[in-house]
A and B are shown apart, each in its own frame.
Chain A
Amino acid sequence: MEADTREDLIARLEEAARDLRITDIEMLAEAGSGHPGGTLSAAEMVAALFFHKLRLRPEEPEWPDRDRFVLSKGHCIPIVYAAMAKLGFFDEKELMTLRKLGTRLQGHPDRRLLPGIEASTGSLGQGLSVAAGMALAAKLDGADWRVYCMMGDGEIQAGQMWEAAMFAPRHGIDTLTAILDHNQVQQTGKVAETMPIEPIVAKWTAFNWHVREIDGHDMVQVLDALDEAEMVTGKPTIIVSHTVKGKGVSWMELETAWHGKAPSPEEAERAIAELRGEGS
């Protein structure tokens, strides 16, 4: 893996993102409920983080020097479970227990049940504070592990987000990288119509963050932004990742209805065929 050229790496991660989307659809169809839109929009970033950027030891999930990933938009956890299984945190067979009674793969992540989950989330607006606390602990200890926090775009309507946004620069936390999965749609409509969040870059800049805007489906840009964040000192970074909700399944893209509805088995089959590039 170390011998990867940049081109090889990008090709490998693009393929991994596609595979995560397929697994995600399979899991949601089996569960019969869940959130396809916001999982599909996050695929490239999750692939880049879990299969390249995050320093992890799946066989030793509590390894103190690991990087931490906090999914503040907890409802999108299935695609993270898919990545964790691929890395060997647990058996891939367990993926199909998603959302079922007795599962460790809860509808929203539960750190008490599944080693490798860093934070239990799902009540939107809270993850960035927890991530900032983790990064602060590393700073107090002089440790070099980093913290990544993925947020939804609708989620930053929550006030606690802006409390955290003020907090992290105040304490010089620069090992924290926030990722805004700006997929444009929330549960009941377009973000811009429900409660506009623009101008996003100006807002985070004004809160003293280093801001980088990218096309979140372009793996080159995803990797460049994650690399850049590591170079920033004295302040945290936010990657404003412009994405498409439901990305990869044409009839789910930017469709509000696919925020929180699982595909039927037939729909899942059609979605997977499209993701595999078969027919149309």
Chain B
Amino acid sequence: MGAATRDAFGEAIVRVGEDPRIVVLTGDLKDSTRTDSFEEAYPDRFIECGIAERNMIGVASGLALSGKIPWAASFSTFVAGRFETVRVSVAFQEANVRIVGTHVGVGVGEDGYSQMAFEDVALMRTLPNMTIIQPADAAETHAAVEYLVEHEGPAFLRLTRQGVDDVHGEGYRFEPGRIERLRDGDDVALIASGATVAEALRAADLLSEDGISARVLNVHTIKPLDEEAVLQAASECDALLTVEDGSAVGGLGGAVAETLATRDGRAPLRIIGHRTFGESGSPDELYEKYGLSGPRIAESTRDLLKTLG
């Protein structure tokens, strides 16, 4: 078993911490989030917020709007769960905040459901400008942290409590926004993220004993999703499985399903809804602008039918 990705985060944030813009915040969880290492190295830029995560997220936003790169770390369910503050004070403001959520899914173990983030990915996916990164192992966590120092805009980094097997060797090159193909295969594609990537590789080994060739895809960037890699897998493999330690509704599986249903298949689905923030105007004007009015629905329908040829 390799390191937990939260452990790798604790090392990585110290490594990049020389940058004076970096500030780390936590809410009485510096030990569990492995940010105590940062406190030791850069005590002035470590901000204890107490068990008050909404305020922590708001403070992070104010820091970001004043030129800092704040990393607000807690159990993922305690930060993603303060959704309304993330929604307005971080996402809507386009504040350059990194929300770091550790302790995700059943990988939390004995503490049980109240500490296990299931819904975090689905929630964060609804925010138009939120980048979501879930590294599969320590090497990828280091690379993701380096990338997030330079990234512009809000981001959510999802990390495991438990140790995970290393799936990357030395010299791994992280390509943000791209799905990584860890194993070739064309009977089935296993699409995984975070801790489930190593499990998918294990499954692929077992399947090969049955003569089934399984492609293994590592989705470290859940949003924006590498739709082309998903579509390629759908056209080259007989079946797809998504595997995540999180809700089956609206997370990685939801993102893949949306891609397939809208861009592949015989009766394509078009999902009309919001992918941006809203604005002021009369309800009628806004229904028209945002594609929800009768004429706009008809227009979308004609447009979709045209693509069927």
Contact = CB atoms under 8 A, between A and B. Distances in A.
Given A133-B60, A163-B50, 12 more contacts: A120-B92, A120-B93, A123-B84, A123-B88, A129-B89, A131-B62, A136-B47, A141-B67, A163-B52, A164-B55, A167-B50, A167-B59
- From A64, A120, A159, name the one whose CB has the most chain B CB atoms within 10 angstroms: A120
Given A111-B93, A140-B23, A160 B281 contact: no
B85 interface: yes
A171 interface: yes
Interface in B39-69: 44-45, 47-50, 52, 54-68
B16 to A, nearest CB: 17
B61 A107 contact: no
Interface of B: 23, 44-45, 47-50, 52, 54-68, 70, 84-85, 87-89, 92-94, 279-282, 285-286, 289
Contact of B54 (A110, A118, A129, A171): A129
The CB with the most chain A CB atoms within 10 A, among B49, B67, B93, is that of: B93
10 contacts: A123-B88, A128-B58, A129-B57, A129-B59, A133-B61, A133-B65, A134-B63, A137-B62, A140-B45, A160-B52
A261 B81 CA distance: 33
A181 to B, nearest CB: 19
B66 A134 contact: yes
A200 interface: no
A129 B279 contact: no
A203 interface: no
Nearest to A127: B58
A213 B157 CA distance: 44
Contacts of A129: 54-59, 61-62, 85, 89
Indicate the member of A121, A159, A163, A171 with the most B CB atoms within 10 Å: A163
Contact of B68 (A107, A122, A140): A140
B85 A101 contact: no
A136 B88 contact: no
A105 B281 CA distance: 11
Interface string A87-118: 00000000000011111011100111000001
B53 to A, nearest CB: 8
Contact of A167 (B44, B52, B63): B52
Contacts of A140: 23, 44-45, 68
A201 interface: no
Nearest to A147: B62
Contacts of B68: 137, 140
A136 B70 CA distance: 12
Contacts of A170: 48, 50
A214 to B, nearest CB: 26
A132 B59 contact: yes
Given A129-B89, A160-B58, A137 B280 contact: no
A24 B117 CA distance: 46
Given A123-B84, A126-B88, A164-B55, A118 B65 contact: yes
Contacts of A135: 62
B87 A123 contact: yes
Contacts of A164: 55, 58-59
Contact of B59 (A100, A119, A133): A133
A122 B89 CA distance: 10
Contacts of B281: 99-102
A220 interface: no
A108 B27 CA distance: 30
B282 A101 contact: yes
Interface string A151-163: 0000000011001
Residue of B61, B64, B66, B93 with most partner-chain A CB within 10 A: B66
Given A99-B280, A129-B59, A138 B66 contact: yes
Nearest to B82: A160
A166 interface: yes
A47 B59 CA distance: 27
Contacts of B282: 101
B50 A130 contact: no
Nearest to B95: A130
A103 B92 CA distance: 17
B289 A101 contact: yes
Nearest to B94: A112
Given A134-B66, A140-B44, A160 B54 contact: yes
Contact of B62 (A107, A110, A112, A130): A130
Nearest to A158: B54
B92 A136 contact: no
A215 to B, nearest CB: 30
B68 to A, nearest CB: 5
Given A101-B289, A137-B63, A140-B68, A163 B44 contact: no
Given A103-B280, A140-B44, A166 B52 contact: yes
Contacts of B89: 119, 126, 129-130
Contacts of B54: 125-126, 129, 159-160, 163
Nearest to B92: A120
A194 to B, nearest CB: 20
B218 to A, nearest CB: 33
A170 to B, nearest CB: 8
